Chains A and B, each alone.
Chain A
Amino acid sequence: AQSVTQLDSQVPVFEEAPVELRCNYSSSVSVYLFWYVQYPNQGLQLLLKYLSGSTLVKGINGFEAEFNKSQTSFHLRKPSVHISDTAEYFCAVSGSKQGNTPLVFGKGTRLSVIA
Chain B
Amino acid sequence: GAVVSQHPSRVICKSGTSVKIECRSLDFQATTMFWYRQFPKQSLMLMATSNEGSKATYEQGVEKDKFLINHASLTLSTLTVTSAHPEDSSFYICSARGTGRAGGYTFGSGTRLTVV
Contacts and interface: CB of A to CB of B under 8 A. Distances in A.
Contacts of A94: 105
Contacts of B32: 99-100
DSSP class of A's interface residues: helix, strand, loop or mixed? loop
A97 to B, nearest CB: 6
B103 A43 contact: no
Contacts of A36: 107
Contacts of A107: 42-43
Contact of B104 (A49, A104, A106): A49
A44 B107 contact: yes
Interface size class of B (residues with CB under 8 A): 20 to 34
Contact of A34 (B93, B105, B112): B105
Contacts of B103: 97-99
Contacts of B58: none
B91 A103 contact: no
B6 A43 contact: yes
Interface string A60-103: 00000000000000000000000000000010001001111011
B29 interface: no
B99 interface: yes
B43 A106 contact: yes
A99 B97 contact: yes
A10 B71 CA distance: 37
B89 interface: no
B78 interface: no
A97 B98 CA distance: 11
A107 B39 CA distance: 11
Given A42-B110, A102-B46, 9 more contacts: A44-B44, A46-B105, A94-B105, A98-B103, A100-B32, A100-B51, A102-B34, A103-B95, A108-B42
Interface of B: 6, 31-32, 34, 41-44, 46, 49, 51, 91, 93, 95, 97, 99, 103-105, 107-110, 112
Closest 6 A/B residue pairs (Cβ)? A98-B103, A43-B109, A100-B32, A43-B110, A44-B107, A107-B43
